[in-house]
């Protein structure tokens, strides 16, 4: 069923078919017929989902010959998002705020950007200097850098997405369970949690409060 996402990207992402469409488009631009062939929904349903994704600013279309081709619109979410970048360590926060990263990581970041559906040249976002790659200041316009201890500090907001990768791997089970509770308290219902490659919410006392969205990418959805 197609529900009315009314231009809200987070509403639009609430539907599993629309998430499947975005996943397909992240692999490459596609026409409606190609999307319909890959999903268990009809062509008119795909068109309706695409219209909602367009209204939400997540996809764009262009004419190529006689076909209309859809692609991800990378700028669709950033303008409307507030991102909290938190860490226990002030030095780490200052480094993130400075936006300077080692040049030797740029190939890996470029590959990730392309895999995620990036349309532009990734190098447009940074300037290479002797001390590393300095990222464009405006990328941090919607980012609040704040010190926060996952173990002892409380939830301070309700989020649609939390990514916390390669931190819990260093914590013993009881401490992990405590942080899982913090994630639960901090996520909106149907909000998404992204963990690291060796981390999981399975076997945690909070396992039943989450549903696995993508086993390989360690994505979980708060369901209760
Ligand atoms: C291995 S790094 C992972 C960084 C990044 N997520 C990644 O995957 O590249 C772990 C980070 O967790 C932070 N950290 C450790 N304990 C923490 C805690 N109790 N609360 C918040 N951050 C913590 C450290 O300061 C460090 O920046």
Check whether residue 16 and residue 59 sit in a common domain: yes
Instruction: For ligand 1, say whether the CB of 197 is within 6 Å of any of its atoms.
Output: no
Neighbours of 41 (CB within 10 A): 16
Is the pLDDT confidence value at 77 over 80? Answer: no
In a domain, 2, yes or no: no
Q: How many domains does the chain have?
A: 3
Q: What domain range includes position 165? A: 149-222
Whether 178 maps to a domain, the answer reads yes
Among 145, 167, 174, the mutation site with the greatest number of ligand 1 atoms within 8 A of its Cβ is 167
Instruction: Report pTM.
Output: 0.73
Residue where a domain terminates, one of 118, 140, 162: 140
Q: In this structure, is residue 1 part of a structural domain? A: no
Domain-embedded: residue 3: no
End-to-end CA distance of the chain, in Å? 22
Ligand 1 atom with least separation from CA of 87: 22
CATH of the domain at 210: 3.40.50.150
Q: Which residues of 201-210 are buried (b: 16+ CB within 10 A; e: fewer)?
A: beebebeebb
Taking residues 92-106, what's their average pLDDT? 95
Ligand 1 atom at shortest distance from the alpha carbon of 92: 27
CA-nearest of 177, 165, 181 to 222 is 181
Same domain, 87 and 63: no
Is the model's pLDDT at 3 over the cut of 50?
A: no
- From the CB of 88, is ligand 1 less than 6 Å away? yes
In this structure, is residue 109 part of a structural domain?
yes
Residue 8's pLDDT is what? Answer: 78
Residue that terminates a domain, selected from 75, 109, 124: 75
Q: What is the pLDDT of residues 13-48, one digit of tens each?
A: 889 999 999 989 887 889 999 999 999 999 999 999
């Amino acid at each position: 069923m197609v529900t009315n996402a009314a231009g809200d990207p987070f509403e639009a992402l609430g539907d599993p078919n629309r998430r499947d469409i975005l996943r397909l488009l992240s692999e490459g631009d596609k026409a409606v017929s190609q999307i319909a062939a890959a999903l268990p929904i009809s062509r008119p349903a795909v068109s309706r989902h695409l219209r909602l994704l367009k209204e939400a600013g997540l996809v764009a279309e262009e004419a190529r010959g006689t076909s209309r081709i859809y692609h991800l619109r990378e700028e669709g979410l950033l303008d409307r998002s507030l991102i909290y970048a938190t860490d226990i360590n002030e030095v780490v926060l200052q480094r993130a705020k400075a936006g300077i990263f080692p040049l030797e990581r740029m190939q890996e970041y470029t590959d990730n950007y392309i895999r995620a559906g990036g349309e532009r040249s990734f190098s447009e976002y940074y300037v290479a200097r002797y001390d590393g790659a300095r990222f464009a200041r405006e990328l941090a316009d919607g980012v609040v850098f704040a010190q926060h201890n996952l173990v002892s500090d409380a939830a301070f907001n309700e989020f649609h997405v939390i990514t916390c990768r390669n931190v819990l791997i260093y914590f013993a089970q009881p401490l992990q369970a405590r942080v899982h509770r913090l994630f639960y308290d901090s996520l909106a219902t149907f909000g998404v949690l992204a963990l690291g490659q060796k981390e999981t919410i399975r076997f945690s006392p909070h396992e039943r409060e989450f549903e696995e969205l993508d086993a390989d990418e360690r994505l979980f959805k708060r369901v209760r």
